[in-house]
Protein backbone atom coordinates (compact mmCIF):
# COMPACT_ATOMS: atom_id res chain seq x y z
CA UNK A 1 0.00 0.00 0.00
CA UNK A 2 1.43 3.37 -1.03
CA UNK A 3 0.30 6.95 -0.36
CA UNK A 4 2.27 9.38 -2.48
CA UNK A 5 5.93 8.59 -1.81
CA UNK A 6 5.19 6.64 1.37
CA UNK A 7 5.14 2.84 1.25
CA UNK A 8 3.23 1.48 4.23
CA UNK A 9 4.34 -1.71 5.97
CA UNK A 10 0.93 -3.33 5.42
CA UNK A 11 -2.65 -2.64 4.36
CA UNK A 12 -4.08 -1.88 7.81
CA UNK A 13 -4.93 1.69 8.73
CA UNK A 14 -6.28 3.22 11.95
CA UNK A 15 -9.36 5.29 11.14
CA UNK A 16 -9.51 8.88 12.38
CA UNK A 17 -11.87 9.09 15.38
CA UNK A 18 -12.55 12.31 17.24
CA UNK A 19 -11.59 12.02 20.89
CA UNK A 20 -9.95 8.63 20.32
CA UNK A 21 -7.06 8.65 17.87
CA UNK A 22 -4.78 10.95 19.81
CA UNK A 23 -1.01 10.47 19.53
CA UNK A 24 -0.72 7.82 22.30
CA UNK A 25 -3.46 5.69 20.71
CA UNK A 26 -2.04 6.03 17.19
CA UNK A 27 1.44 5.09 18.36
CA UNK A 28 0.11 2.09 20.29
CA UNK A 29 -1.83 0.81 17.27
CA UNK A 30 1.25 1.16 15.09
CA UNK A 31 3.33 -0.80 17.60
CA UNK A 32 0.67 -3.51 17.56
CA UNK A 33 0.56 -3.96 13.81
CA UNK A 34 -1.15 -1.04 12.09
CA UNK A 35 0.67 0.13 8.99
CA UNK A 36 -0.68 3.66 9.17
CA UNK A 37 -2.87 5.91 11.32
CA UNK A 38 -4.78 9.13 10.71
CA UNK A 39 -5.15 11.77 13.41
CA UNK A 40 -8.44 12.82 14.91
CA UNK A 41 -9.84 15.76 12.98
CA UNK A 42 -8.40 19.23 13.47
CA UNK A 43 -10.58 22.25 12.77
CA UNK A 44 -9.74 24.54 9.87
CA UNK A 45 -10.78 27.55 11.98
CA UNK A 46 -7.53 29.45 12.57
CA UNK A 47 -9.04 31.12 15.66
CA UNK A 48 -8.84 27.75 17.43
CA UNK A 49 -5.23 26.88 16.56
CA UNK A 50 -4.00 28.14 19.92
CA UNK A 51 -6.38 26.32 22.25
CA UNK A 52 -5.18 23.33 24.26
CA UNK A 53 -7.29 20.74 22.45
CA UNK A 54 -6.10 21.79 18.99
CA UNK A 55 -2.47 21.99 20.12
CA UNK A 56 -2.63 18.45 21.50
CA UNK A 57 -4.23 17.16 18.32
CA UNK A 58 -1.41 18.73 16.32
CA UNK A 59 1.32 17.18 18.49
CA UNK A 60 3.15 14.49 16.50
CA UNK A 61 6.37 14.20 18.53
CA UNK A 62 7.92 10.74 18.27
CA UNK A 63 5.25 9.37 15.94
CA UNK A 64 6.36 6.98 13.23
CA UNK A 65 6.24 8.39 9.70
CA UNK A 66 4.23 9.10 7.74
CA UNK A 67 2.26 11.48 9.95
CA UNK A 68 -1.25 11.96 8.58
CA UNK A 69 -3.40 14.82 9.86
CA UNK A 70 -7.12 15.10 9.18
CA UNK A 71 -8.60 18.57 8.73
CA UNK A 72 -12.29 19.49 8.80
CA UNK A 73 -14.17 22.53 7.59
CA UNK A 74 -16.36 23.95 4.85
CA UNK A 75 -14.48 26.98 3.54
CA UNK A 76 -11.93 26.22 0.77
CA UNK A 77 -9.55 29.04 1.77
CA UNK A 78 -9.63 28.06 5.44
CA UNK A 79 -9.07 24.42 4.56
CA UNK A 80 -6.08 25.35 2.40
CA UNK A 81 -4.61 27.44 5.22
CA UNK A 82 -5.21 24.61 7.71
CA UNK A 83 -3.34 22.24 5.41
CA UNK A 84 -0.38 24.62 5.19
CA UNK A 85 -0.42 25.18 8.96
CA UNK A 86 -0.33 21.46 9.75
CA UNK A 87 2.35 20.68 7.18
CA UNK A 88 4.48 23.38 8.79
CA UNK A 89 3.87 21.63 12.13
CA UNK A 90 5.09 18.28 10.80
CA UNK A 91 2.23 16.66 8.88
CA UNK A 92 3.44 14.54 5.97
CA UNK A 93 -0.03 13.68 4.64
CA UNK A 94 -3.17 15.82 4.82
CA UNK A 95 -6.50 14.00 5.06
CA UNK A 96 -9.79 15.80 4.33
CA UNK A 97 -12.81 14.91 6.45
CA UNK A 98 -15.98 14.51 4.39
CA UNK A 99 -17.27 11.55 6.37
CA UNK A 100 -18.02 12.63 9.93
CA UNK A 101 -21.77 12.24 10.61
CA UNK A 102 -21.81 14.12 13.93
CA UNK A 103 -24.57 16.71 14.18
CA UNK A 104 -22.29 19.50 15.43
CA UNK A 105 -19.99 18.96 12.45
CA UNK A 106 -22.73 18.66 9.83
CA UNK A 107 -24.53 21.70 11.21
CA UNK A 108 -21.63 23.88 10.06
CA UNK A 109 -21.69 22.19 6.62
CA UNK A 110 -18.51 20.21 7.31
CA UNK A 111 -17.86 16.46 7.42
CA UNK A 112 -20.41 14.37 5.54
CA UNK A 113 -22.70 17.40 5.08
CA UNK A 114 -20.35 18.49 2.30
CA UNK A 115 -21.60 15.59 0.16
CA UNK A 116 -24.76 17.62 -0.47
CA UNK A 117 -22.76 20.28 -2.33
CA UNK A 118 -20.51 18.73 -4.97
CA UNK A 119 -19.37 22.13 -6.25
CA UNK A 120 -18.09 23.02 -2.78
CA UNK A 121 -16.43 19.61 -2.52
CA UNK A 122 -14.55 20.38 -5.74
CA UNK A 123 -13.43 23.80 -4.49
CA UNK A 124 -12.17 22.36 -1.20
CA UNK A 125 -10.30 19.48 -2.83
CA UNK A 126 -8.72 21.77 -5.40
CA UNK A 127 -7.70 24.38 -2.83
CA UNK A 128 -6.12 21.91 -0.43
CA UNK A 129 -4.23 19.94 -3.09
CA UNK A 130 -2.79 23.17 -4.51
CA UNK A 131 -1.90 24.54 -1.06
CA UNK A 132 0.64 21.88 -0.03
CA UNK A 133 3.36 19.74 -1.56
CA UNK A 134 2.46 16.60 0.43
CA UNK A 135 -0.09 13.91 -0.52
CA UNK A 136 -3.72 14.82 0.17
CA UNK A 137 -6.19 12.03 0.95
CA UNK A 138 -9.96 11.98 1.38
CA UNK A 139 -12.17 10.18 3.93
CA UNK A 140 -15.85 10.10 2.98
CA UNK A 141 -19.10 8.11 2.94
CA UNK A 142 -21.40 6.68 0.29
CA UNK A 143 -23.45 9.85 0.29
CA UNK A 144 -25.51 12.06 2.56
CA UNK A 145 -28.90 10.33 2.24
CA UNK A 146 -29.95 6.82 1.37
CA UNK A 147 -31.13 6.68 -2.21
CA UNK A 148 -28.95 9.65 -3.12
CA UNK A 149 -25.53 7.97 -2.90
CA UNK A 150 -23.11 10.08 -4.97
CA UNK A 151 -19.80 8.54 -3.95
CA UNK A 152 -18.91 7.56 -7.52
CA UNK A 153 -19.09 11.19 -8.65
CA UNK A 154 -17.21 12.38 -5.57
CA UNK A 155 -14.53 9.74 -6.10
CA UNK A 156 -14.01 10.63 -9.78
CA UNK A 157 -13.81 14.29 -8.83
CA UNK A 158 -11.25 13.53 -6.15
CA UNK A 159 -9.03 11.61 -8.55
CA UNK A 160 -9.26 14.34 -11.20
CA UNK A 161 -8.28 17.02 -8.67
CA UNK A 162 -5.19 15.21 -7.42
CA UNK A 163 -6.31 13.31 -4.32
CA UNK A 164 -3.74 10.57 -3.64
CA UNK A 165 -6.00 8.04 -1.86
CA UNK A 166 -9.67 7.79 -0.95
CA UNK A 167 -11.07 6.00 2.11
CA UNK A 168 -14.75 5.03 1.99
CA UNK A 169 -17.01 4.20 4.90
CA UNK A 170 -19.77 1.87 3.71
CA UNK A 171 -22.67 3.94 5.05
CA UNK A 172 -24.39 7.23 4.27
CA UNK A 173 -24.64 10.08 6.74
CA UNK A 174 -28.30 9.15 7.19
CA UNK A 175 -27.19 5.70 8.35
CA UNK A 176 -24.87 7.17 10.98
CA UNK A 177 -23.45 3.89 12.39
CA UNK A 178 -26.70 1.94 12.19
CA UNK A 179 -27.23 -1.22 10.17
CA UNK A 180 -24.52 -3.11 8.35
CA UNK A 181 -21.91 -1.35 6.24
CA UNK A 182 -22.51 -1.75 2.50
CA UNK A 183 -19.54 -2.59 0.32
CA UNK A 184 -21.02 -2.76 -3.18
CA UNK A 185 -20.36 0.90 -3.96
CA UNK A 186 -16.85 0.66 -2.54
CA UNK A 187 -16.25 -2.15 -5.03
CA UNK A 188 -17.58 0.06 -7.84
CA UNK A 189 -15.33 2.93 -6.81
CA UNK A 190 -12.31 0.62 -6.80
CA UNK A 191 -13.18 -0.62 -10.28
CA UNK A 192 -13.50 2.99 -11.49
CA UNK A 193 -10.44 4.70 -10.01
CA UNK A 194 -6.71 4.37 -10.57
CA UNK A 195 -5.72 5.78 -7.17
CA UNK A 196 -5.70 3.50 -4.10
CA UNK A 197 -9.05 2.87 -2.40
CA UNK A 198 -9.42 2.04 1.30
CA UNK A 199 -12.49 0.17 2.60
CA UNK A 200 -13.92 1.07 6.01
CA UNK A 201 -16.85 -0.09 8.13
CA UNK A 202 -17.71 -3.08 10.35
CA UNK A 203 -14.30 -4.74 9.98
CA UNK A 204 -14.13 -6.46 13.34
CA UNK A 205 -12.29 -9.75 12.78
CA UNK A 206 -9.47 -11.13 10.65
CA UNK A 207 -11.95 -13.16 8.62
CA UNK A 208 -14.10 -10.08 7.96
CA UNK A 209 -10.99 -8.15 6.89
CA UNK A 210 -10.13 -10.87 4.36
CA UNK A 211 -13.72 -10.96 3.09
CA UNK A 212 -13.89 -7.18 2.62
CA UNK A 213 -10.58 -7.06 0.77
CA UNK A 214 -11.63 -9.93 -1.50
CA UNK A 215 -15.09 -8.54 -2.19
CA UNK A 216 -14.16 -4.89 -2.82
CA UNK A 217 -10.69 -5.34 -4.31
CA UNK A 218 -9.65 -2.46 -2.05
CA UNK A 219 -5.97 -1.67 -1.64
CA UNK A 220 -6.27 -1.45 2.15
CA UNK A 221 -8.75 -1.51 5.00
CA UNK A 222 -9.38 1.09 7.70
CA UNK A 223 -10.42 0.03 11.20
CA UNK A 224 -12.02 2.33 13.74
CA UNK A 225 -14.41 1.24 16.47
CA UNK A 226 -13.16 -2.38 16.49
CA UNK A 227 -9.77 -1.11 17.70
CA UNK A 228 -11.23 0.69 20.70
CA UNK A 229 -10.02 -1.30 23.69
CA UNK A 230 -8.55 -3.89 21.37
CA UNK A 231 -5.56 -2.33 19.60
CA UNK A 232 -3.99 -5.76 19.02
CA UNK A 233 -6.63 -6.36 16.35
CA UNK A 234 -4.12 -5.04 13.81
CA UNK A 235 -1.55 -7.76 14.50
CA UNK A 236 -4.33 -10.37 14.48
CA UNK A 237 -5.51 -9.25 11.05
CA UNK A 238 -2.00 -8.84 9.68
CA UNK A 239 -1.10 -12.37 10.77
CA UNK A 240 -4.29 -13.81 9.28
CA UNK A 241 -3.83 -12.02 5.96
CA UNK A 242 -0.22 -13.20 5.76
CA UNK A 243 -0.67 -16.81 6.89
CA UNK A 244 -4.35 -17.73 6.80
CA UNK A 245 -4.11 -18.72 10.45
CA UNK A 246 -5.70 -17.11 13.50
CA UNK A 247 -3.56 -15.96 16.40
CA UNK A 248 -4.57 -17.06 19.90
CA UNK A 249 -6.15 -14.35 22.07
CA UNK A 250 -3.72 -12.25 24.10
CA UNK A 251 -3.03 -13.50 27.62
CA UNK A 252 -4.52 -11.53 30.51
CA UNK A 253 -1.03 -10.50 31.56
CA UNK A 254 -0.36 -8.99 28.14
CA UNK A 255 -3.66 -7.10 28.07
CA UNK A 256 -2.78 -5.64 31.46
CA UNK A 257 0.65 -4.60 30.18
CA UNK A 258 -0.77 -3.03 27.00
CA UNK A 259 -3.44 -1.10 28.87
CA UNK A 260 -1.09 0.19 31.58
CA UNK A 261 1.44 1.24 28.95
CA UNK A 262 -1.34 3.01 27.05
CA UNK A 263 -2.47 4.76 30.23
CA UNK A 264 0.99 6.03 31.11
CA UNK A 265 1.49 7.49 27.63
CA UNK A 266 -2.04 8.90 27.78
CA UNK A 267 -1.50 10.57 31.17
CA UNK A 268 1.81 12.09 30.07
CA UNK A 269 0.18 13.47 26.93
CA UNK A 270 -3.06 14.85 28.41
CA UNK A 271 -1.96 15.75 31.92
CA UNK A 272 -3.39 14.79 35.31
CA UNK A 273 -6.91 16.24 35.14
CA UNK A 274 -7.80 15.57 31.49
CA UNK A 275 -5.76 12.38 31.37
CA UNK A 276 -7.76 10.77 34.17
CA UNK A 277 -11.12 11.73 32.70
CA UNK A 278 -10.42 10.95 29.05
CA UNK A 279 -8.89 7.59 30.01
CA UNK A 280 -12.19 6.39 31.49
CA UNK A 281 -13.65 5.57 28.07
CA UNK A 282 -10.51 3.68 27.01
CA UNK A 283 -10.56 1.61 30.20
CA UNK A 284 -14.26 0.91 29.66
CA UNK A 285 -13.55 -0.34 26.14
CA UNK A 286 -10.69 -2.59 27.27
CA UNK A 287 -12.84 -4.18 29.98
CA UNK A 288 -16.22 -4.38 28.23
CA UNK A 289 -17.69 -7.88 28.48
CA UNK A 290 -15.05 -9.17 30.88
CA UNK A 291 -15.89 -10.88 34.19
CA UNK A 292 -16.85 -8.41 36.90
CA UNK A 293 -16.28 -5.47 34.61
CA UNK A 294 -19.54 -3.64 35.35
CA UNK A 295 -18.77 -3.31 39.05
CA UNK A 296 -15.16 -2.42 38.25
CA UNK A 297 -16.19 0.39 35.90
CA UNK A 298 -18.69 1.86 38.36
CA UNK A 299 -15.92 2.13 40.94
CA UNK A 300 -13.32 3.29 38.42
CA UNK A 301 -15.49 6.17 37.19
CA UNK A 302 -15.41 7.66 40.71
CA UNK A 303 -11.62 7.84 40.89
CA UNK A 304 -10.18 11.34 40.54
CA UNK A 305 -6.44 10.73 40.08
CA UNK A 306 -4.36 8.95 37.48
CA UNK A 307 -2.47 7.05 40.18
CA UNK A 308 -5.70 5.67 41.65
CA UNK A 309 -7.01 4.83 38.21
CA UNK A 310 -3.91 2.94 37.10
CA UNK A 311 -3.77 1.05 40.41
CA UNK A 312 -7.42 0.03 40.04
CA UNK A 313 -6.76 -1.25 36.52
CA UNK A 314 -3.74 -3.23 37.72
CA UNK A 315 -5.69 -4.77 40.61
CA UNK A 316 -8.62 -5.68 38.35
CA UNK A 317 -6.45 -7.54 35.85
CA UNK A 318 -4.48 -9.21 38.63
CA UNK A 319 -7.79 -10.57 39.87
CA UNK A 320 -8.70 -11.83 36.41
CA UNK A 321 -5.33 -13.51 35.98
CA UNK A 322 -5.92 -15.69 39.03
CA UNK A 323 -8.78 -17.42 37.20
CA UNK A 324 -8.03 -16.87 33.51
CA UNK A 325 -4.91 -17.09 31.39
CA UNK A 326 -6.75 -15.91 28.29
CA UNK A 327 -9.82 -13.76 27.71
CA UNK A 328 -12.10 -14.06 24.69
CA UNK A 329 -13.63 -10.82 23.46
CA UNK A 330 -17.06 -11.26 21.87
CA UNK A 331 -17.50 -9.80 18.36
CA UNK A 332 -21.00 -8.53 17.61
CA UNK A 333 -20.35 -8.31 13.87
CA UNK A 334 -18.34 -11.47 13.29
CA UNK A 335 -21.02 -13.03 11.13
CA UNK A 336 -22.16 -9.92 9.27
CA UNK A 337 -22.46 -11.03 5.64
CA UNK A 338 -21.17 -9.16 2.63
CA UNK A 339 -23.75 -9.05 -0.12
CA UNK A 340 -22.66 -10.34 -3.51
DSSP string computed for 117-173? -HHHHHHHHHHHHHH-SS-EEEEEES-SSTT---HHHHHHHHHHTT-SEEEEESS-T
Secondary structure of the chain: what % helix, strand, coil (to 5)?
Answer: 45, 15, 40
Same domain, yes or no: 289 and 200: no
CA distance 268 to 260: 12
**147 and 69, same domain (yes or no):** yes
* Pairwise CA distance, residues 29 & 301, whole Å: 25
Question: Residue 168: beta bridge partners?
Answer: 140, 199
Q: Which of 29, 100, 106, 276 is flagged as catalytic?
A: 100
221 φ/ψ angles, rounded to the nearest 5 degrees: -125, 150
At 284, is the secondary structure helix, strand, or coil? helix
Residue 229 vs residues 117, 121, 138, 233: alpha-carbon distances, Å: 36, 34, 26, 10
Domain boundary among 218, 243, 268: 243
pLDDT recorded at residue 337: 40
Please indicate, yes or no, if residue 332 is contained in any of the structural domains. Answer: no
Q: pLDDT per residue over 69-124, tens digit each?
A: 999 999 999 999 999 999 998 999 999 999 887 777 776 777 888 999 999 999 99
337 bridge partner residues: none
- What are the C-alpha distances in Å from 95 to residues 38, 114, 123, 285? 8, 15, 15, 26
- Pair (91, 47) in one structural domain: yes
Give the separation between CA 37 and CA 46, rounded to whole angstroms: 24
Residue after which a domain boundary falls, among 194, 217, 243: 243
List of residues 6+ apart from 50 with CB closer than 8 A:
none
Please check whether residue 339 lies inside any domain of the structure.
Answer: no
Last residue of a domain, one of 211, 243, 275: 243
Q: Is 100 a catalytic residue?
A: yes
pLDDT at 76: 95
Asked if residue 72 belongs to a domain, the reply is yes
Domains of the chain: total:
2
Please indicate, yes or no, if residue 32 is contained in any of the structural domains: yes
180 in helix, strand or coil? coil
Same domain, 219 and 261: no
Q: Residues 157, 280: one domain?
A: no
Identify whether 63 is part of a domain: yes
My answer on whether 88 and 142 are in the same domain is: yes
- Looking at the structure, tell me whether residues 114 and 223 fall in a common domain: yes
Do residue 154 and residue 197 come from a single domain? yes
Residue 333 lies in a domain: no
Cα 252 to chain centroid distance, Å, stands at: 25
Residues 237 and 292 grouped into a single domain = no
Contact 183/153 with Cβ under 8 angstroms?
no
Taking the model in full, what pTM does it have?
0.90
Q: Are residues 138 and 75 in the same domain?
A: yes
Q: Are residues 42 and 177 in the same domain?
A: yes
Alpha-carbon gap, residue 269 to 47, rounded angstroms? 23
Using a 10 angstrom Cβ sphere, with 0-12 exposed, 13-18 middle and 19 or more buried, the burial of residue 158 is: buried
Residue 296: which domain range?
252-323
Residue-level pLDDT at 57: 63
Same domain, yes or no: 33 and 112: yes
- The DSSP element (H or E) to which 222 belongs, if any, is strand 220-223
The reply to whether 112 falls in a domain is yes
Question: Taking a C-beta distance cutoff of 8 angstroms, is the pair 16, 39 a contact?
Answer: yes
Query: Read out DSSP for 23-91?
Result: HHHHHHHHHTT-SEEBPPPEES-GGGTTSHHHHHHT--TTPPSSPEEEEE-S-HHHHHHHHHHHHHTT-
Task: Tell me how far apart the alpha carbons of residues 76 and 132 are, in angstroms, rounded to a whole number.
Answer: 13
Q: In tens digits, what is the pLDDT along the chain, a chain of 340 residues?
A: 899 999 999 999 999 998 899 999 999 999 999 999 999 888 776 544 556 666 666 677 777 889 999 999 999 999 999 999 999 989 999 999 998 877 777 767 778 889 999 999 999 999 999 999 999 999 999 998 999 899 999 999 999 999 999 999 999 988 888 888 999 999 999 999 999 999 999 999 999 999 999 999 999 999 999 999 999 999 999 999 999 999 998 999 999 999 999 999 999 999 999 999 999 999 999 999 898 999 999 999 999 999 999 999 999 999 988 877 666 654 433 334 444 3
Strands 197-200 and 220-223: parallel
| Residue 338 forms part of a structural domain | no
CATH number at residue 72: 3.20.20.70
Amino acid sequence: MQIGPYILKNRLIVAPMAGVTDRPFRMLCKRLGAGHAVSEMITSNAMLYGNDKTRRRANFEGELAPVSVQIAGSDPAQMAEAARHNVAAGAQIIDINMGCPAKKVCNVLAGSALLQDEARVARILDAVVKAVDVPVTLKTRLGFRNGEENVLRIARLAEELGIATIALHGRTREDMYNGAARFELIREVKRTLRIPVIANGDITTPAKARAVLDFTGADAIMIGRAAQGRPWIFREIDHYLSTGHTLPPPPVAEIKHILLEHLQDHYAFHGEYSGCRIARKHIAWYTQGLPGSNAFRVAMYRLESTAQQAAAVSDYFDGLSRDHEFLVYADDAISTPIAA
